[in-house]
C-alpha cells in the first residue's frame, strides 16, 4: 500500500495543544487566532509541514478551519464532514456548521465586546480577509496579521517538502511551455498588465510542463511564478528541486529562491495581476496599489484540456477501469464477513500498480462499509477498519495518477443481499447519474445551472446529499481542479475540454452510504437528425468505464431511456474493458454487464 503522509492529533492531544496555543494568544495580546487548512500557495491540498489544522484539532477533512479563542475553539466544517468531525476532534473543540454559520457571525457572538483576532498573512487569500473584515465592520473586532502561532508550539513540525521536479512530456501536455507562456502573456498585454503572480501549484506545473511530489497524491511542485507580459517567467522554487530541468525550462525561465519573492515583487512596475481567491495577503501587501485584480491566468486554459490531454485521460481511464474490474471480480468471490476495508484498499492498489504508467493513487482510497459508507470522505484506519458483512453496502471511491491522466471513480457494491430501502435509494442515485450523463445544454451555462438534473430523482423522494454533484479534474494533476464545478454555487461556464466528475450520492448516518461516479469531458454536441438548432449546444463524453452493480437496481424505477443508457454503457464497458482482463475477471464482467 502507498505511504500515507497525514499529520493528525489524537483526541487526548487536543487539550494540551489548545492550551499551548492559548498561552501564545495571551503572550501576543490576542483574543483569537485562525488556523486554516491552507499553505502559502492556497491550493486545496497541503504537505505535512502545513497540516496545522490536523495537528491542532485532529480533523483531517480537505476543507475547514479552526477559530481558537480564549474560551471557545470552533472547528468549522461543511456538510461533507459533519459525521467525520464528531469522531476526530476532542471535546475542547466545538463543531460549527459552515457556511450556514459564518465566521463573522460566530466571532461576533463569541466576542460581543470586540477583540483582536490574529491570522498568518501567508495562509489566507486576500478575498477571504476582505470579506471577513467587511462583515465585521462596526463590531469592534480587529483582524491582525501576525506570526503563525501554531508553528511556535509545534516542536516536531515536519520540514517543508523538497522533492525533485520532473519533465511532463510534450506528448501528454500537447503544448510546449514556451507556447503556453506566450499565449497567456498576450492576454496580459491585452489587459494592460505588466505581470501576473501565480501561486497555485497545479497552475505552476501546468504552465511549465513539469510535475513533482510536494503534495501526497498530487504531482505538483511548491513555488511561485511571475509571468511577465513579454512571456518571460521568474520561477521561485528551491533550485535543488529543478536540478535536471535546466534544459527544459530554457532561457525564458529565471529561477530564484522562494524567499526572494516578496523583495522581487517590490521592484516590479505595475499593474500586476493578482487573483483574490488565491493570492496570499502577504503577496498583496508586497504589491500594494500596483495590484490589478483578475483571475489566475492559468485557470481556464488549464481546465480546457487540449486533444492530447483528453486522449491521455481517456487511455488512462481504460487501464484504470480494468484494474477496478479485477478488484470487483476478486471481491465478488469473497464470502461476506471474510474481508475488511483495508484488505479491499490494498487489493485495489495492487491491481493498479500492475500498470507501469501509474505514479501514485490520486487520493486516499475511500472504502466504507455499512455505517462507514455514510461518512462521505471516510478513510479507513486501524481503529475504524470494519468487516464487509452480509447486508452491507460498500462505497468504493478511488483513483490513480498516471503519466497520461488522472482518474477518479466510485462504485457502490452490495455485500450479500441488500435491504429494499438501499436498493431504492441506489436506483434514484443511478437515475440522477444517468440523467446528467445524457444531458445536452446550451453553451454558456455554468455548473449551477444544470447540477439539479443529477439530484431530481432524489428530491422527488424527499432525499438529497450534502456535497456538490461534481468537481473538475486535472490532466495528471490535481484530482480536484477548478474553476469548473457541478455545484449550486459555481458560476463558471462549462467549456469544451473541461473534465468533471458526475457523482450523486445518498447517505443515511449510522446505516449505509451510496455514491456513483464517472468522469465526463465537455464536448460540442452533434446536430440532432433533422434538427433545426437555434443555438450551440454542449454534451458529455464519458471517460470512466466500469460496471454499475445491477443487483442494486430496481429496473421498474428507471424509465426506458435510462435503462437503454445503462445497457448501452455496459456494452461499452464489456467491449472496451473486457480484452484487458484476466480470464477470470472477463467471465465475471460478462455477467456484470448483462442487460437489464
Give the residue from 113, 130, 153 where a domain finishes.
153
Please, what sign has the CA dihedral across residues 252, 305, 42, 164? negative
Instruction: Specify whether 274 is located in the same domain as 379.
Output: no
Q: How far apart are alpha carbons 475 and 173 in whole angstroms?
A: 8
Taking each helix axis from N to C end, the angle separating 420-437 and 560-577, rounded to the nearest 10 degrees, works out to 80
The last residue of a domain, from among 302, 325, 353: 302
In a domain, 2, yes or no: no
Clarify whether residues 431 and 568 are in a common domain: yes
Residue 32 lies in a domain: yes
For residues 341 and 444, state if they share a domain.
yes
Residue 204 belongs to what domain range? 166-302
- Residue count of the chain, please give it: 596
Is 1 a domain residue?
Answer: no
**Structural domain total, the chain:** 3
Rounded to 10 degrees, the C-alpha dihedral 197/202/206/209 comes to: 110
Of 244, 245, 203, 209, residue with least CA distance to 223: 203
Q: Are residues 322 and 293 in the same domain?
A: no
212 and 132 fall within a common domain: no
Other CB atoms within 10 Å distance of the CB of residue 155: 6
Tens-digit pLDDT profile for the chain (596 aa)? 333 446 667 778 888 999 999 999 999 999 999 999 999 999 889 999 999 999 999 888 778 899 999 999 999 988 777 777 777 787 888 889 888 999 999 999 999 999 999 999 999 999 999 999 999 999 999 999 999 999 999 999 999 999 999 999 999 999 999 999 999 999 999 999 999 999 999 999 999 999 999 999 999 999 999 999 999 999 999 999 999 999 999 999 999 999 999 999 999 998 999 999 999 999 999 999 999 999 999 999 999 999 999 999 999 999 999 999 999 999 999 999 999 999 999 999 999 999 999 999 999 999 999 999 999 889 898 889 999 999 999 999 999 999 999 999 999 999 999 999 999 999 999 999 999 999 999 999 999 999 999 999 999 999 999 999 999 999 999 999 999 999 999 999 999 999 999 999 999 999 999 999 999 999 999 988 876 667 899 999 999 999 999 999 999 999 999 999 999 999 999 999 999 999 999 999 999 999 99
Strands in 366-369's sheet, in edge-to-edge order, are 366-369, 392-398, 409-415
Residues contacting 507, CB < 8 A, separation 6+: 373, 374, 375, 376, 465, 466, 513, 514
CATH number at residue 78: 3.40.350.10
The DSSP bridge partners found for residue 392 are 415
Cα 531 from Cα 478, distance rounded (Å): 39
Domain shared by 149 and 192, yes or no: no
Question: Do 27 and 82 fall into the same domain?
Answer: yes
- Cite the beta strand spans of 240-286 per DSSP E: 253-256, 272-274
**Do residues 393 and 461 both lie within one domain?**
yes
Based on the domain organization, do 36 and 76 belong to the same domain?
yes
Residue 3 lies in a domain: no
Bond preceding residue 521 cis, omega within 30 of 0: no
Specify whether 296 is located in the same domain as 313.
Answer: no
Q: Are residues 320 and 295 in the same domain?
A: no
* Spatial CA neighbour of 303 closest among 519, 441, 473, 486: 473
Buried b (16+ CB within 10 A) or exposed e, 523-552: eebeeeeeeeeeeebbebeebbbbbbbbeb
Confidence (pTM): 0.93
Q: Which of 248, 277, 302 marks a domain boundary? A: 302
Instruction: Quote the CA–CA distance of 50 and 39 in Å, as a whole number.
Output: 6
Spatial neighbors of 400 by CB under 8 A, at least 6 apart, are: 316, 320, 323, 352, 355, 358, 360, 361, 362, 406, 407
What's the DSSP call for residue 455?
T
CATH number of the domain that residue 376 is part of? 3.90.230.10
Q: Is residue 572 part of a domain?
A: yes
Claim to verify: residue 277 and residue 420 sit in the same structural domain: no
DSSP 165: P
In a domain, 312, yes or no: yes
Long-range contacts of 170-173 (CB under 8 A, 24+ apart): 170/209, 171/308, 172/308, 172/309, 172/312, 172/403, 172/404, 172/475, 172/476, 173/209, 173/308, 173/309
**Any domain includes 5:** no
In a domain, 368, yes or no: yes
Amino acid at each position: 500500500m502507498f505511504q500515507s503522509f497525514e499529520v493528525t492529533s489524537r483526541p487526548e492531544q487536543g487539550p494540551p495543544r489548545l492550551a499551548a496555543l492559548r498561552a501564545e494568544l495571551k503572550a501576543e495580546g490576542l483574543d483569537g487566532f485562525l488556523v486554516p487548512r491552507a499553505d502559502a500557495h492556497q491550493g486545496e491540498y497541503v504537505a505535512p509541514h502545513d497540516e496545522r489544522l490536523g495537528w491542532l484539532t485532529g480533523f483531517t477533512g480537505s476543507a475547514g478551519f479552526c477559530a481558537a479563542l480564549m474560551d471557545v475553539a470552533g472547528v468549522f466544517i461543511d456538510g461533507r464532514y459533519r459525521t467525520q468531525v464528531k469522531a476526530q476532534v476532542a471535546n475542547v473543540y466545538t463543531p460549527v456548521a459552515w457556511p450556514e454559520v459564518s465566521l463573522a457571525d460566530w466571532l461576533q457572538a463569541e466576542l460581543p465586546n470586540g477583540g483582536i483576532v490574529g491570522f498568518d498573512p501567508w495562509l489566507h487569500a486576500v478575498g477571504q480577509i476582505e470579506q471577513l473584515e467587511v462583515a465585521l465592520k462596526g463590531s469592534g473586532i480587529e483582524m491582525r496579521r501576525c506570526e503563525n502561532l501554531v508553528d511556535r508550539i509545534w516542536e516536531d513540525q515536519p520540514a517543508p517538502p523538497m522533492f525533485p521536479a520532473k519533465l511532463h512530456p510534450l506528448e501528454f501536455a500537447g503544448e510546449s511551455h514556451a507556447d503556453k507562456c506566450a499565449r497567456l502573456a498576450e492576454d496580459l498585454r491585452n489587459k494592460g498588465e505588466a505581470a501576473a503572480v501565480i501561486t497555485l501549484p497545479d497552475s505552476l506545473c501546468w504552465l511549465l510542463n513539469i510535475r513533482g511530489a510536494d503534495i501526497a497524491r498530487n504531482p505538483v511542485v511548491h513555488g511561485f511564478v511571475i509571468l511577465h507580459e513579454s512571456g518571460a517567467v521568474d520561477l521561485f522554487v528551491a533550485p535543488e528541486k529543478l536540478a535536471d530541468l535546466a534544459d527544459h525550462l530554457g532561457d525564458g525561465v529565471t529561477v530564484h529562491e522562494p524567499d526572494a519573492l516578496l523583495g522581487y515583487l517590490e521592484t516590479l512596475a505595475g499593474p500586476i495581476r493578482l487573483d483574490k481567491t488565491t493570492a496570499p495577503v502577504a503577496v498583496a501587501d508586497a504589491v500594494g496599489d500596483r495590484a490589478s485584480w483578475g483571475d489566475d491566468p492559468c485557470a481556464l486554459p488549464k481546465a480546457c484540456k487540449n486533444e492530447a490531454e483528453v486522449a491521455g485521460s481517456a487511455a488512462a481511464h481504460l487501464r484504470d477501469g480494468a484494474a477496478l474490474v479485477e478488484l470487483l471480480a476478486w471481491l465478488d468471490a469473497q464470502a461476506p464477513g471474510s474481508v475488511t476495508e483495508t484488505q479491499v484498499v490494498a487489493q485495489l492498489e495492487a491491481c493498479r500498480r500492475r500498470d507501469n504508467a501509474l505514479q501514485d493513487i490520486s487520493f486516499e482510497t475511500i472504502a466504507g462499509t455499512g455505517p462507514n459508507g455514510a461518512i462521505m470522505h471516510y478513510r479507513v484506519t486501524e481503529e475504524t477498519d470494519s468487516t464487509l458483512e452480509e447486508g452491507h453496502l460498500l462505497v468504493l471511491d478511488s483513483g490513480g495518477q498516471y503519466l497520461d491522466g488522472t482518474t477518479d471513480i466510485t462504485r457502490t457494491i452490495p455485500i450479500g443481499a441488500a435491504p429494499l430501502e438501499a436498493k431504492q435509494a441506489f436506483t434514484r442515485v443511478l437515475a440522477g447519474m444517468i440523467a446528467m450523463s445524457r444531458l445536452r445544454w446550451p453553451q454558456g451555462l455554468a455548473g449551477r445551472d444544470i447540477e439539479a438534473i443529477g439530484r431530481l430523482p432524489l428530491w422527488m423522494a424527499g432525499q438529497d446529499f450534502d456535497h456538490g454533484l461534481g468537481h473538475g479534474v486535472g490532466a495528471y494533476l490535481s484530482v480536484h481542479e477548478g474553476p469548473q464545478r457541478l455545484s449550486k454555487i459555481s458560476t463558471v461556464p462549462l467549456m469544451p475540454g473541461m473534465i468533471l466528475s458526475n457523482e450523486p450520492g445518498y447517505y443515511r448516518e449510522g446505516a449505509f452510504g451510496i455514491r456513483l461516479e464517472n468522469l465526463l469531458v465537455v464536448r460540442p454536441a452533434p446536430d440532432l437528425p433533422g434538427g433545426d438548432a437555434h443555438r450551440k449546444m454542449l454534451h458529455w463524453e464519458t471517460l470512466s468505464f466500469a460496471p454499475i452493480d445491477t443487483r442494486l437496481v430496481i429496473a421498474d424505477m428507471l424509465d426506458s431511456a435510462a435503462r437503454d443508457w445503462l445497457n448501452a454503457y455496459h456494452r461499452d464497458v464489456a467491449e472496451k474493458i473486457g480484452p484487458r482482463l484476466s480470464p477470470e475477471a472477463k467471465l465475471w464482467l460478462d455477467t456484470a454487464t448483462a442487460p437489464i
